[in-house]
Structure 1
């Protein structure tokens, strides 16, 4: 893959993660239907430079595997997932999903992207 194409894919995936985190946060807080959330996001946001497949994989994959992801995360935390800030919980679930189910993405990329989202949306000490 050429550098410009690689950079474009990286930017599109970054935007997909950004929207994915927001959509999964909405799912967590409002317990709304995933199809309704997806339709709202696609109507309200510009997806022309977003990896739509990746956004959909996150939006539908995390809820489909949430019990498995939480079972893996819980022993690694010093408190229950329910006691975490909802943004932090969403980011941990999303990162765990990518590490477990998106083996095409290097783990360093997943970690860097989740940290960047935590800095942008999370609490000061996220």
Structure 2
């Protein structure tokens, strides 16, 4: 399978994960209910990497307190003032940076910025990029320093 196909399937999984995390943040919907809901839609998860979606959603929700602690020092506003979409995107990327070392940091941040352009406020992607760039320097210092 080509890298682009794998990436696009993972990109779709990330997009669905952001939508599910938004529901979790706003309505406190349990991950199991969201996974069932997404699978019961006529198109299901479509071409998205379903196992990756499930892993990301469950992982982010389980690790949310720790991921939040990683993010807070890099925020320019209180956590409760974050837009829920931006919050979901930041949590998702923080999870990938911390727990998915096989995903290059630049890919994780770029995917998050693209999601912020799609779902976030007009200039929200700039905020997301700034926070995640700082986080990457903390969490993946060696990888960032090597220019990879």
Instruction: Find the counterpart in structure 2 of residue 59 from structure 1.
Output: 57
**TM-score normalised according to structure 2 size:** 0.80
Please identify, of 91-100 and 75-84, the stretch whose mean Cα deviation from structure 2 is larger.
Answer: 75-84
In 1, the alpha carbon distance for the partners of 2:58 and 2:51 equals: 11
Of 103, 117, 120, the residue aligned with 2:101 is 103
In 2, the alpha carbon distance for the partners of 1:26 and 1:62 equals: 13
Q: CA offsets per residue over residues 12-53 of structure 1, 9 Å max, x none?
A: 001000101001111111111211111001111432411111
> Structure 2 regions of 5+ residues with no counterpart?
125-148
In 1, the alpha carbon distance for the partners of 2:48 and 2:9 equals: 4
**Using CA pairs below 8 Å that are at least 6 residues apart, which structure has the higher relative contact order?**
1
Instruction: Find the counterpart in structure 1 of residue 79 from structure 2.
Output: 81
Structure 1 runs of 4+ off > 3 angstroms? none
Instruction: Find the counterpart in structure 2 of residue 22 from structure 1.
Output: 19
> Structure 1 regions of 5+ residues with no counterpart?
none
**TM-score normalised according to structure 1 size:** 0.93
Q: CA deviation at 1:95?
A: 0.6
Superposed CA RMSD in Å reads: 1.1
Instruction: Find the counterpart in structure 2 of residue 43 from structure 1.
Output: 40
Aligned residues: 123
